């Protein structure tokens, strides 16, 4: 339960205060902090460690099962030792690193005119956090992007953090051991080393193959990396719309999303008070936050796309960069000439940003200001280390429209823009579709790698069929797993409400679990050295009927336990050598344990054993407490 | 609501009587019956037709949208014109066809000794259906399998039925048209013709590439076909276990499963009264029913695997064949020599049938009686037209064990057995795993095609990771979509309760919807000529804001509607040109419609239009009733 330090002053505060999620660790798990070598930086990487019970063999031998470390996106919210205060925000763990670089300066006031207006508006006092902070910006002429450091050969503490995190803090020997026991995978050109070193992180960022999104104004964020030579990541979209939801609901959803595995979050708010909603989310978010600045810019012009101007948009970029947004979706590839290519589509343009820009371009019959001012945007990005997420405004919105002329014309433009961004050492990744049948997914990945020079790919699904609204987490989870395997670096989740409504907390969780499955299935298929450790721990617990361990090892321990307990609720059943699916007589796992005991020896001994087995009555599996009760 | 003709005498009858599913058509849908050419047989194929509302264009033009036909597994249960009586069972639509062939005879009593005992047991009267039927068997020396007819060049009414069903009763022209508008797909060697003819069905069955499961004792079943040159099918497992559930619950689940798209059902009951449970299920099932006869045989010997004998097993096969089971899972590939190969596995043997036979083989140190008596089994199969589902008793139960020596040794044996079955003209398909990482799935399909001579493949999932109990419909739905695309003919569903407990009705539905998604995604990816019609109808309805049509076209209309109504419940919102995800100002679909109207013309006219567009205020989308209310 969250230990809030003061009363929450917003109307729907009860919603946040009562959230049963904050500061609660996962069952059977502890938060640990793995330290770096300490030579240069004070790096401590939070991870989750799942305790496992011992195996008791038939002969009475007790086998110790090592704790399993898992990648953890939940930040301090799953560490009961931390005292949380959503009014103050999280501790800024990166502050010292940023300051010590000496290339940023604190601003006495916001550079954005709009931000200053909001900050000076007394009517908004009730919506403000208690702790104020001063924004930072690069000193004149400086470039504070991780890519800029990487290209100058500098390994930042952020890079060191990421390396430890990707390895789960394991030693080279442990990773080598893990790798040797696993399937080797098929990587489609990805090259994941056995151990991720800080130097490898640096070189991947320098090459543009990976992005470490970390705005100097979001020091609360725990560094993470997006690239196909790293673990596949998952993004969750949150944010209110004009129709529904409030600030506390969105903060609550943010914490909830990081609990269930969101590596980054996009705040897609389009309703009232989006400046303040964003401030709450960023100050409390342990993961990078992305936005689509165009949404807020459009709000500023009353929702009339044609009234958008570069000046309003530019002010919005600076406003959000100084709040700490880590990456901006910018639909700069929607060029005037491509718009007529969408006319014959079944579903036209389905990206909000894409359609807004298309409307602007047509109304003015001009090239998009995002395209014409792209280098001006780069200048802003590098002053705060905001990363580009180059938006796919012309992505297909239906199976029928997949991989068409409009989509690939835009993709090639995004590749050209990537080159420009890299000229400025601005970190860049590329957004992708959308709705694509399975057989056309690989072409998406190959075209992206080719035209975007291996910049990381970040796709929405893709949905592999259009016919199942209400289940689009699943239609798209299939596509996400596939494109993750082929090399997509980050998967933007889709919830069950896609195409139907705004997701609630349960939808956010369903979307995230589905996408964690997709990302993990992709890591396994690519042959990630440490991925199969988790599967093997689960399978061993399953074969040995360690039910508590099975629950604790599950991506969603609460649901696994609840489903089991629906039919076998008693505590004694947790030691049972069967479940309700087959009952005791038909449990293959139970019989298989007996078979193994018999078959382990060589062919000659087999016959003898078979005889013994018959004489014993053929029932040699382990007796454990509570078992008699259930076997009656 | 089911119109039951009499009171249901079982204890939990209320459960069945109150089921809100029977005889209720899907919203906006009608049952239609497409007739054959009538030259030889009285073939009427039930299908579902979804009515669509017209499109009203901005210029006032009304565009008619053709009804969409969809493949329908629900039989008479979604036809409100039918009067249902679960005590009597369904009308036996295939009776005349079977009789007219003149190669079967009615039996005055069951051939199985066990069946006779059950039938004569007065204590079981309360568990019987009201309508009794006499079983049929081939006359002496006859072979009544569809494969036998097919190989003699005979096109049966069942084959004609299947052809119409696969084509959705569409004309060659319509199918040619559909195909020309769709993605072409990637079929990995599958060859799906534009139109399925009865002769094509015959030739595929004759070649062993397809199976039409239709026991002469299950005349209630609507013919369907399993083969990679046809639509990908889905099987649902139902059945009680010793721990939970009753006959009415299982009948209810059966009806429920066919409503949500089960192409076949497996009755995996292992508890009490499995003979009677099976009778209820078969008499009321519009889809083929499969079983694992070993489960019942084991019950007959008190659960002691070593006490199983060929004689008890043989009597069980005949008992079930005379009840009407359409396919038997038979784990005849679990050979003695393969068992030690499982000793080093992480999870041993996880197939129930496989582990039972392994235990038997070890205890007797003999080759399995399923293997040694395989030709005796063939003799039984062809006397009733029961199809083989050759079980994969050594399938992997974890990612770690995928594609190992034991699994492939068994697969090659299944290939040998297929050849023997085909020698007897017995229809045969092959079961497959299980737990397989994505990168190893294709090898499964390729090895199966190679070693089993293109006999249809029927896999359980496969699960692509082990770490998400509670979500194994999703971990396995990913694998199912992939292997379906690669050529797997039927996908055995996995429910959210897999590894945890026995599925309830909601779990059955979740499993089925997930697998219908997987099967359809596979059909799309293979390039099935008519598959994309459904996606296109949905996408057009989506682009045109026809909300009612979107709900009605959804695989699960109830959930789609409920999710939409959670945030926008009013009827007026069903005509709204937005949803709650983005609200009215940010709706890309709405903006895109405006863009389309503007961009459809050529480049020269574009500038002029852009000017007009500005002058109009840039808001030219359609005004429909109820819209003003929501746009305020």
Give me the percent of chain A exceeding a pLDDT of 90.
75
Instruction: Flag whether A25 is in a domain.
Output: no
Same domain as A520, residue A586 = no
Same domain as B266, residue B364 = yes
In terms of Cα–Cα distance, which of A1, A84, A67, A83 is closest to A32? Answer: A67
Decide if pLDDT at B453 tops 70.
Answer: yes
Residues belonging to chain B: 632
| A272 vs B35: CA distance, rounded Å | 58
Same domain as A464, residue A371 = yes
CB A319 within 8 A of CB A351: no
A421 backbone dihedrals φ, ψ, rounded to 5°: -60, -45
Collapsing DSSP states into helix, strand and coil, what is residue A69?
A: strand
Give chain B positions within 8 Å (CB) of A358: 591-592, 595, 599
Contact criterion met (CB < 8 Å) for A555 and B583:
no
Q: A53: alpha, beta or left, given left = phi > 0 and alpha = psi -120 to 50?
A: beta
Same domain as B467, residue B594 = no
Contact criterion met (CB < 8 Å) for A588 and B532:
no
Give chain B positions within 8 Å (CB) of A475: 517, 521
Give chain A positions within 8 Å (CB) of B501: 563-564, 566-568, 579-581
This prediction has a pTM of 0.93
Q: How many helices (H) and strands (E) does chain B have?
A: 24, 17
For the stretch A303-339, pLDDT in tens is 999 999 999 999 999 999 999 999 999 999 999 999 9
Q: Which residues pair with B86 in a beta bridge?
A: none
Residues belonging to chain A: 632
For the stretch B491-536, pLDDT in tens is 999 999 999 988 999 999 999 999 999 999 999 999 998 899 999 9
- Please indicate if the annotation marks A237 as binding a ligand: yes
For the stretch A381-423, pLDDT in tens is 999 999 999 999 999 999 999 999 999 999 999 999 999 999 9
A52 backbone dihedrals φ, ψ, rounded to 5°: -120, 145
Contact criterion met (CB < 8 Å) for A500 and B351:
no
For the stretch A467-519, pLDDT in tens is 999 999 999 999 999 999 999 999 999 999 999 988 999 999 999 999 999 99
Same domain as A595, residue A497 = no
Six-digit token string for A396: 């297909």
Terminal CA-CA length for chain B: 41
Give me the percent of chain B exceeding a pLDDT of 70.
87
Residue-level pLDDT at A618: 44
Mean pLDDT of chain B: 89
Count of the separate structural domains present in chain A = 2
Burial bucket for residue A561 (CB in 10 Å: 0-12, 13-18, 19+):
buried
| B18 vs B28: CA distance, rounded Å | 23
Highest mean pLDDT, choosing among B83-87, B135-139, B273-277, B526-530: B135-139
For the stretch B291-330, pLDDT in tens is 999 999 999 999 999 999 999 999 999 999 999 999 999 9
Chain B: give the shortest CA distance to residue A457, in Å: 20
Same domain as B592, residue B519 = no
Burial bucket for residue A399 (CB in 10 Å: 0-12, 13-18, 19+):
buried
pLDDT, greater one: B285 or A9 = B285
Mean pLDDT lowest among A420-434, A554-568, B231-245 = B231-245
Cross-chain CB nearest to B579 (options A356, A475, A501): A501
Give chain A positions within 8 Å (CB) of B600: 340, 343
CB A142 within 8 A of CB A176: no
Six-digit token string for B622: 């359609």
In terms of Cα–Cα distance, which of A240, A231, A242, A224 is closest to A281? Answer: A240
Burial bucket for residue A272 (CB in 10 Å: 0-12, 13-18, 19+):
middle
What DSSP element (H or E) covers B450? helix B441-451
Mean pLDDT lowest among A30-39, A310-319, B258-267 = A30-39
Q: How many helices (H) and strands (E) does chain A have?
A: 24, 17
Q: Can you tell me the ipTM of this complex?
A: 0.92
Single residue among A494, A512, A527 that ends a domain in this structure: A527
Residue-level pLDDT at B263: 98
CB A328 within 8 A of CB A386: yes
Six-digit token string for A339: 């718009």
In eight-state DSSP terms, residue B256 is H
Beta strands in A127-259 (DSSP E): 136-138, 210-211, 226-227, 233-238
Mean pLDDT of chain A: 89
Residue-level pLDDT at A567: 78
Residue-level pLDDT at A603: 52
| A590 vs A587: CA distance, rounded Å | 5
Burial bucket for residue A453 (CB in 10 Å: 0-12, 13-18, 19+):
middle
Instruction: Flag whether A359 is in a domain.
Output: yes
Chain A: give the shortest CA distance to residue B68, in Å: 12
Same domain as B472, residue B599 = no
Mean pLDDT, residues A179-207: 95
Cross-chain CB nearest to B595 (options A243, A358, A438): A358
Beta strands in B376-469 (DSSP E): 387-390, 428-432, 457-460
Q: Which residues pair with A578 in a beta bridge?
A: none
Mean pLDDT, residues A179-197: 93
Give me the percent of chain B exceeding a pLDDT of 90.
75
Give me the percent of chain A exceeding a pLDDT of 70.
87
- The domain in which residue B599 lies consists of 577-616
Chain B: give the shortest CA distance to residue A242, in Å: 6
Instruction: Work out the pLDDT band at A18, boundaries 50, 70, 90.
Output: very low
Residue-level pLDDT at A574: 73
Same domain as A594, residue A500 = no
pLDDT, greater one: B335 or B82 = B335
Instruction: Flag whether A169 is in a domain.
Output: yes
Instruction: Work out the pLDDT band at A616, boundaries 50, 70, 90.
Output: low
In terms of Cα–Cα distance, which of A410, A420, A316 is closest to A368? Answer: A410
Six-digit token string for B579: 């949803």
Which string of b and e fits A147-164 if b means at least 16 CB within 10 Å?
bbbbbeeebbbbbbbbbb
Instruction: Flag whether A45 is in a domain.
Output: no
Highest mean pLDDT, choosing among B308-317, B352-361, B608-617: B308-317
What CATH number is given to the structural domain containing B457? Answer: 3.20.20.540
- Using DSSP bridges, classify how beta strands A29-35 and A44-50 pair: parallel, antiparallel or unpaired: antiparallel
Minimal Cα distance from A299: which residue of B?
B585
Same domain as A370, residue A478 = yes
Decide if pLDDT at A258 tops 90.
Answer: yes
In eight-state DSSP terms, residue B39 is S
| A218 vs A288: CA distance, rounded Å | 8
Mean pLDDT, residues A43-55: 97
Instruction: Flag whether B297 is in a domain.
Output: yes
* Distances from the Cα of B282 to the Cα of B255, B264, B286, B313, angstroms: 11, 11, 8, 20
pLDDT, greater one: A507 or A15 = A507
Instruction: Flag whether B374 is in a domain.
Output: yes
For the stretch B276-296, pLDDT in tens is 999 999 999 999 999 999 999
Question: Cβ neighbours of residue A380 under 8 Å, at least 6 residues apart?
Answer: A314, A317, A318, A321, A386
Same domain as B461, residue B367 = yes
Cross-chain CB nearest to A586 (options B295, B438, B536): B295
For the stretch B151-189, pLDDT in tens is 999 999 999 999 999 999 999 999 999 988 889 999 999
| B543 vs B588: CA distance, rounded Å | 10
Same domain as A226, residue A335 = yes
CB A508 within 8 A of CB A236: yes
CB B556 within 8 A of CB A468: yes
Instruction: Flag whether B217 is in a domain.
Output: yes
* Distances from the Cα of A260 to the Cα of A557, B118, B508, angstroms: 11, 53, 25
In eight-state DSSP terms, residue B602 is -
Single residue among B485, B504, B527 that ends a domain in this structure: B527
Same domain as B507, residue B381 = yes
Instruction: Flag whether B471 is in a domain.
Output: yes
Mean pLDDT lowest among A244-253, B89-98, B542-551 = A244-253
Mean pLDDT, residues A596-615: 57
Collapsing DSSP states into helix, strand and coil, what is residue A104?
A: strand
Terminal CA-CA length for chain A: 41
Cross-chain CB nearest to A539 (options B351, B466, B598): B466
Cross-chain CB nearest to A501 (options B186, B524, B568): B568
Mean pLDDT, residues A581-610: 62
Chain B: give the shortest CA distance to residue A584, in Å: 8
Helix ranges restricted to H, A53-156: 95-101, 113-120, 146-151
């Amino acid at each position: 339960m969250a230990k809030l330090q003061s009363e929450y002053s917003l109307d729907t505060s009860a919603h946040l205060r009562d959230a049963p999620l904050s500061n609660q660790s996962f069952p059977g798990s502890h938060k640990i902090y793995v330290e770096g070598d300490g030579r240069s930086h004070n790096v401590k990487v939070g991870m989750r460690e799942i305790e496992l019970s011992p195996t008791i063999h038939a002969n009475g031998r007790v086998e110790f099962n090592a704790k399993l470390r898992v990648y953890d996106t939940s930040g301090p919210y799953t560490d009961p030792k931390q005292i949380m205060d959503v009014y103050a925000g999280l501790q800024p763990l990166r502050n010292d690193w940023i300051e010590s670089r000496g290339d940023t300066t604190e601003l006495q006031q916001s550079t954005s005119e709009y931000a200053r207006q909001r900050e000076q508006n007394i009517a908004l006092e009730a919506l403000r956090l208690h702790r104020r902070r001063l924004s930072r910006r690069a000193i004149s002429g400086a470039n504070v992007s991780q890519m800029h450091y990487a290209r100058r050969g500098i390994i930042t503490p952020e890079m060191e953090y990421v390396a430890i995190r990707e390895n789960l803090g394991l030693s080279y020997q442990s990773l080598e051991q893990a790798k040797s026991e696993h399937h080797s995978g098929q990587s489609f050109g990805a090259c994941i080393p056995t151990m991720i070193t800080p130097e490898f992180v640096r070189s991947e960022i320098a090459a543009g193959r990976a992005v470490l999104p970390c705005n100097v104004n979001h020091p609360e964020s725990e560094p993470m990396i997006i690239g196909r030579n790293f673990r596949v990541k998952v993004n969750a979209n949150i944010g209110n719309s004009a129709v529904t939801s409030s600030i506390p609901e969105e903060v609550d959803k943010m914490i909830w999303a990081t609990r269930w595995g969101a590596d980054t979050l996009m705040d897609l708010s389009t309703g009232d008070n989006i400046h303040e909603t964003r401030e709450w989310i960023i100050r409390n978010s342990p993961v990078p936050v992305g936005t689509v600045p165009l949404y807020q810019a459009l709000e500023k012009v009353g929702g009339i796309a044609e009234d958008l101007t570069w000046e309003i948009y530019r002010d919005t970029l600076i406003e959000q960069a100084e709040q700490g947004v880590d990456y901006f979706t910018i639909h700069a590839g929607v060029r005037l000439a491509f718009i007529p290519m969408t006319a014959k589509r079944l579903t036209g343009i389905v990206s909000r940003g894409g359609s807004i820009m298309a409307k602007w371009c047509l109304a003015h019959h001009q090239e998009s200001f995002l395209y014409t001012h792209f280098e001006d945007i780069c200048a802003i990005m590098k002053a705060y280390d905001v990363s580009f997420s180059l938006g796919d405004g012309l992505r297909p919105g239906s199976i029928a429209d997949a991989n068409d002329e409009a989509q690939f014309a835009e993709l090639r433009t995004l590749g050209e823009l990537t080159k420009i961004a890299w000229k400025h050492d601005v970190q860049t990744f590329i957004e992708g579709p959308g709705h694509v049948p399975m057989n056309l997914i690989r072409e998406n990945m190959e075209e992206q790698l080719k035209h975007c020079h291996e910049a990381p790919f970040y796709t929405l699904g893709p949905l592999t069929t259009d016919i199942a609204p209400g289940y689009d987490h699943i239609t798209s989870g299939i596509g996400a797993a596939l494109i993750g395997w082929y090399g997509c670096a980050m998967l933007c989740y889709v919830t069950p409400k896609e195409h139907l409504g705004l997701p609630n907390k349960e939808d956010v969780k369903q979307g995230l679990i589905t996408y964690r499955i997709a990302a993990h299935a992709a890591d396994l298929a690519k042959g990630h050295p440490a991925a199969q450790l988790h599967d093997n721990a689960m399978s061993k617990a399953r074969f040995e009927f360690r039910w508590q361990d099975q629950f604790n090892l599950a991506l969603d321990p609460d649901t696994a336990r609840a489903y089991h307990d629906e039919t076998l609720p008693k505590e004694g059943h947790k030691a049972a050598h069967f479940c309700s699916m087959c009952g005791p007589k038909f449990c293959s796992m139970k019989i298989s344990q007996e078979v193994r005991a018999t078959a382990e020896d060589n062919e000659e001994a087999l016959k003898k054993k078979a005889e013994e087995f018959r004489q014993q009555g053929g029932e040699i599996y382990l007796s454990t407490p509570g078992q008699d009760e259930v076997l009656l």
